[in-house]
Amino acid sequence: MAIDAAGRLYVVATPIGNLADLSARALETLRICALIAAEDTRHTGSLLRHFGIATPLVSLHEHNEKQRCAEIVRRIAGGEAVALVSDAGTPAISDPGFVLVRAAAAAGLDVISVPGPCAAIAALSVAGLPAAQFCFEGFLPARAAARRARLQSLAAEARTLVFYESPHRVAGMLEDCISAFGAARGAALARELTKLHETVYRGPLEELAARAASDADLSRGEIVLIVAGAPPAARGGAGEALDRVLGVLLAELPLKQAARLAARIAGVRDNEAYKRALRMQRESSSH
């Protein structure tokens, strides 16, 4: 589809590190649009200056996206083309943008993808793990109990798992993955993709955890963690997933709260989780 300056929303992927990865189509789109909605206008401003682009910027981030959508949609409906970008990679993929895309589509406006870099796909392509089917989890909860519960709920997932992680939490994340998936589960950790110090570590979770504990480099830069899916012997039903999640949450939370959260994580009804939590609590107290 040709680039058109008439009213439409362009969702533009930008580099995750190497500026040479910005496509010719993305460059032209950013030039011809009347406005660029950016996660951080300072960050995107630096990108635009590098390429000599003077298109006006407006901020669109997790704290103002809902409030700013109406004005941006109004401008698109009035005939202006607007580009949506995040700080790095593809907007709306663990980044702001979903709310604006949904609002523009609901208003009957054209929403056009200008594809390009995405850290999850880049890491998956070099991980050396099955990629025909995968499950993108993005960033897990920062709180340890919630993170462990989510990982326990994924222990029987057959698809390859893709996570984003902050460098200061990667060592703890790997230890939690070992608890949920086992030390021998295959994995890959991609760090600083497309940048000067790009590194991909491959091996069982136990090996990656040992490296994270001893290698200071792993506590710096952007991290994508890829974990192999569960082997057939490790795949259980919804009941087993619920038990794993409850086992973690009941140790940290009151029964009702643990059951409610476990139901959401394991995808079962609240009353089913509550009954199982009661039974587990009784069994524990009888031993």
* pLDDT over 90 at 80, yes or no: yes
* Encoded amino acid at 180, one letter: A
Residue 279 lies in a domain: yes
Q: Which pLDDT score, from 0 to 100, does residue 178 have?
A: 94
Structure token digits, residue 267? 């995808």
Write down which residue in 117, 141, 170 finishes a domain.
Answer: 117
Same domain, 259 and 222: no
C-alpha span between 287 and 272 (Å, rounded): 23
Residue 244 lies in a domain: yes
C-alpha span between 229 and 187 (Å, rounded): 9
* pLDDT over 70 at 236, yes or no: no
Same domain, 172 and 229: yes
* pLDDT over 80 at 121, yes or no: yes
Greater confidence (189 vs 1) lies with 189
Domain extent, residue 161, equals: 120-234
Same domain, 128 and 151: yes
In whole angstroms, how far apart are CA 182 and each of 49, 77, 147, 283? 48, 53, 16, 25
* pLDDT over 90 at 6, yes or no: no
38 closest CA partner among 78, 89, 79, 96: 96
Calculate mean pLDDT across residues 213-223: 88
In whole angstroms, how far apart are CA 184 and each of 171, 178, 190, 210, 243? 16, 8, 18, 13, 22
Write down which residue in 100, 117, 134 finishes a domain.
Answer: 117
Same domain, 258 and 152: no
Q: Are 94 and 138 a contacting pair, CB within 8 Å? A: yes
Residue 67 lies in a domain: yes
Residue 161 sits in a domain whose CATH number is 3.30.950.10
Residue 27 sits in a domain whose CATH number is 3.40.1010.10
Same domain, 128 and 229: yes
Greater confidence (89 vs 276) lies with 89
DSSP annotation of 19: G
> What's the number of domains the chain is made of?
3
User: Which pLDDT band, with edges at 50, 70 and 90, does 184 fall under?
Assistant: very high
* pLDDT over 80 at 287, yes or no: no
36 closest CA partner among 71, 73, 5, 81: 81
Calculate mean pLDDT across residues 84-97: 95
Residue 264 lies in a domain: yes
Q: Are 183 and 162 a contacting pair, CB within 8 Å? A: no
DSSP annotation of 163: E
Same domain, 156 and 207: yes
Same domain, 22 and 112: yes
Calculate mean pLDDT across residues 217-244: 80
Same domain, 104 and 132: no
Same domain, 108 and 131: no
Q: Are 181 and 157 a contacting pair, CB within 8 Å? A: no
Report residue 172: phi and psi, to 5°: -65, -40
User: Which pLDDT band, with edges at 50, 70 and 90, does 1 fall under?
Assistant: low
Q: Which pLDDT score, from 0 to 100, does residue 217 have?
A: 85
Same domain, 229 and 272: no
Calculate mean pLDDT across residues 74-101: 96
**How does strand 223-227 pair with strand 160-165?**
antiparallel
Q: Which residues pair with 200 in a beta bridge?
A: 190
Residue 199 lies in a domain: yes
* Encoded amino acid at 66, one letter: K
- According to the per-residue pLDDT averaged within each range, which of 157-161, 232-236, 268-272 is highest? 157-161
Same domain, 221 and 155: yes
* pLDDT over 60 at 129, yes or no: yes
C-alpha span between 49 and 42 (Å, rounded): 11
Same domain, 48 and 112: yes
User: Which pLDDT band, with edges at 50, 70 and 90, does 240 fall under?
Assistant: confident
Cα atoms in the 13 Å half-sphere on the side-chain side of 20: 3
Residue 3 lies in a domain: no
Write down which residue in 83, 117, 151 finishes a domain.
Answer: 117
Residue 2 lies in a domain: no
C-alpha span between 230 and 210 (Å, rounded): 21
Three-state DSSP state, 279: helix
Strands in 160-165's sheet, in edge-to-edge order, are 134-139, 160-165, 223-227, 186-191, 199-204
Quick one: how far is CA 110 from the chain centroid? Answer: 25
Quick one: how far is CA 44 from the chain centroid? Answer: 20
Residue 229 lies in a domain: yes
225 closest CA partner among 154, 143, 157, 166: 166
Instruction: Round the average pLDDT of the chain to a whole number and report it.
Output: 91
37 closest CA partner among 63, 10, 17: 10
Calculate mean pLDDT across residues 220-243: 79
